[in-house]
């Protein structure tokens, strides 16, 4: 996932996942065999009351360049478009703003905080609501920007991230989104939690099936990305 000389932009949503990823990559710089630099970007959706001052201070302590990108995505999604499915449009617009900022800052990669549970939930959401076998990829090349998306925490369970964020007193900013906690993903999370109680190890078996099926770049070896990057017609980095 990380190559010599990479400049990695961490997409910091201000939640526990992205902040944990930021701290982990900042520490990784000290001993990773390939040198890389780091910056962080928060796309401000424009909801009132969001304060990223503590995150800026964390980045200062970690010696990480930090940029806040102001937008009116919240207003567009909820007030102008009045989307019945706000998450889809919001995600597309956030990605666009994040990738544009990363490109402006000279980054070669954008790191996202998706974890083990996100992987299983996304796979099941695609199955339930789209009728297809699919998930996000561990590493994806964006041909329109020349940037690679990487997801370094895919093997980390959410409970470990939650525990680290609490132990490290990370400055998590509560989401101001009106749809927070009332999404299809949240419903799937609750369903999987119920099924996991009845069928111990279910999520690990689903994740294993994704690996064994080599769904969207996952591999049983646990190596989501090799040492060399190869661009395919579909735009994936290996």
Beta bridge pairs of residue 67: 41
Cβ pair 129, 42 in contact under 8 A = no
- Per-residue burial over 94-106, b if 16 or more Cβ lie within 10 Å, else e, is bbebbbebbbeee
Say how many C-beta atoms besides its own lie within 10 A of residue 140's C-beta: 19
How far the first Cα of the chain sits from its last, in Å, is 8
Query: Residue 59 in 3-state DSSP?
Result: helix
The model carries a pTM of 0.89
Query: Residue 41 in 3-state DSSP?
Result: strand
Please report, in tens digits, the pLDDT of each residue of the chain (238 residues total): 999 999 999 999 999 999 999 999 999 999 999 999 999 999 999 998 889 999 999 999 999 999 999 999 999 999 999 888 888 899 999 999 999 999 999 999 999 999 999 999 999 999 999 999 999 999 999 998 999 999 999 999 999 999 999 999 999 998 888 888 888 999 999 999 999 999 999 999 999 999 999 999 999 864 433 333 333 323 344 3
């Amino acid at each position: 996932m990380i190559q010599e000389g990479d400049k990695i932009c961490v997409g910091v949503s201000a939640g526990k996942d992205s902040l944990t990823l930021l701290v982990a990559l900042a520490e990784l710089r000290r001993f990773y065999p390939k040198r890389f630099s780091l910056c962080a970007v928060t796309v401000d959706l424009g909801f009132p009351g969001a304060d990223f001052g503590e995150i800026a201070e964390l980045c200062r302590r970690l010696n990480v360049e930090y940029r806040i990108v102001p937008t009116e995505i919240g207003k567009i999604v909820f007030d102008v478009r009045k989307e019945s499915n706000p998450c889809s449009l919001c995600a597309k617009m956030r990605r666009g703003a994040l990738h544009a900022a990363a490109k402006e800052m000279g980054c070669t990669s954008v790191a996202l905080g998706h974890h083990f549970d996100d992987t299983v939930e996304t796979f099941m959401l695609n199955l339930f609501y789209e009728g297809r076998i699919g998930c996000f990829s561990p590493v994806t090349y964006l041909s329109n920007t020349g940037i690679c998306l990487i997801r370094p925490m895919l093997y980390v369970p959410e409970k470990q991230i939650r525990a680290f964020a609490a132990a490290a007193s990370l400055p998590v900013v509560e989401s101001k989104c009106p749809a927070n906690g009332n999404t299809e993903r949240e419903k799937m999370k609750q369903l999987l939690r119920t099924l996991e109680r009845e069928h111990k190890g279910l999520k690990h078996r689903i994740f294993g099936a994704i690996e064994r099926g080599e769904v969207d770049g996952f591999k049983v070896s646990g190596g989501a990305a090799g040492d060399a990057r190869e661009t395919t017609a579909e735009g994936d980095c290996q």
